[in-house]
Amino acid sequence: MSLNTFATLCELLQVQGGLDEDGHIGIGEQVATFLIILAHHTKNRSLQVRFYRSDETISRYFQKADSVPEDCVDPRWKWFKGCLGALDGTYIDVTVLKSDKSRYRTRKSRISTNVLGVCNQNMNFVYVLSGWEGSASDSRILRDAITRRNGLKIPVGCYYLVDAGYTNGRGFLSPYRNVRYHVNEWVQGHRAPQNHLELFNKKHSSARNVIERCFGLLKKRWAILRSPSFYPIRIQSHIIITCCLLQNFIRMNMDVDLEEDATLLPEHIPVGDDTIVDEPNTIDVVESSHEWTQWREDQAIEMWQI
């Protein structure tokens, strides 16, 4: 983070976030100390980290995504008109009470929270839902995200790219299953796509990889996300969202993100009943449909014929 970006962040936290000096430590030192903890996972028992907003309030701060325009010429996105970006889940290891470990245990026996991340084409997070147990499926978390108040909003007619673990339905475009898909299957192989299914999956993977790059950059930049911290699970969930916000802030305020240019790593606590019953202008269900499946098929055939 450059000095100018750091100064802008301090001013933002002071003016809009209500951060002030406590008589002993200035704002700059407070912010720098917090950033050091996030970036290097430095443990300091004398530091008390306090949060004043809920997960959803913080999520509303993320910028609104714009869909891929009709005149897009970017080779990764030009086939996905109306696409808002990509989404996926990622596991972040956490520390929980012994009685909660079974719920947070993943299929690989790690104690983690399953975080839903949604980003636009420019690698900026537009929605994050953090705190769900590691045992929860990606689809279950997505359903929670689109049905809660102030949750993920997808205008009818727009959609996000998702992997094969999600349902291919209105608002969510997934690849063909049981067909070559991942980027490394194409870059390491010498065989070109043999049909419209493989070509569609190749182009889908190239575009959807933006969310994998987002997660990779996030974990590379903030060491506190690469190993469990010892804050209460609710605070750990806030930390994850804070790191996403800071990543957006850095990328929007620096011409060059040095961390992005470096080699990337591979690759919610539910509160109350926040469901909404009807919001006609946005998508509030995750389900497959014949119309959506046929639209994907038409897109794939068009790609193959050109």
The answer to whether 137 and 162 are in contact (CB under 8 A) is no
Instruction: Provide the CA 229 distance to its chain's centre, in angstroms.
Output: 20
The answer to whether 126 and 118 are in contact (CB under 8 A) is yes
Q: Provide the percentage of residues in the chain whose pLDDT is more than 90.
A: 43
Could you read off the pLDDT of 253-275 as tens digits, one per residue?
776 666 665 544 433 333 333 33
The dihedral formed by the CA atoms of 208, 214, 216 and 220, expressed in degrees to the nearest 10: 170
Residue 5 has pLDDT above 80, yes or no: no
Question: 171-176 long-range CB contacts below 8 Å, 24 or more apart?
Answer: 171/146, 171/283, 171/286, 172/87, 172/142, 172/286, 173/80, 173/83, 173/204, 173/296, 175/200, 175/201, 175/204, 175/205, 175/208, 176/200, 176/201, 176/300
Q: Hey, what are 22's tokens?
A: 């406590």
Specify the 3-state DSSP secondary structure of 261: helix
Among 52-61, 131-140, 176-185, which stretch is predicted with the lowest mean pLDDT?
A: 52-61
Residue 221: how many other CB atoms lie within 10 Å: 22
Residue 48: per-residue pLDDT: 42
Instruction: Provide the CA 276 distance to its chain's centre, in angstroms.
Output: 22
Q: What pTM did the predictor assign?
A: 0.78
Specify the 3-state DSSP secondary structure of 42: coil
Specify the 3-state DSSP secondary structure of 271: coil
Could you read off the pLDDT of 118-138 as tens digits, one per residue?
999 989 999 999 989 999 999
- The rounded distance, in Å, linking the Cα atoms of 294 and 288 is 11
The residue count of the chain comes to 306
Residue 59 has pLDDT above 60, yes or no: no
Mean pLDDT throughout 181-207? 82
Angle at 116 between CA 162 and CA 177, to 5 degrees: 25
Residue 172 has pLDDT above 90, yes or no: yes
Higher-confidence residue: 24 or 85?
85
In terms of Cβ atoms closer than 10 Å to its own Cβ (0-12, 13-18, 19+), residue 22 is: exposed
DSSP type of residue 266: P
Residue 187 has pLDDT above 90, yes or no: no
**282: nearest Cα among 126, 145, 128:** 145
Residue 294: per-residue pLDDT: 95
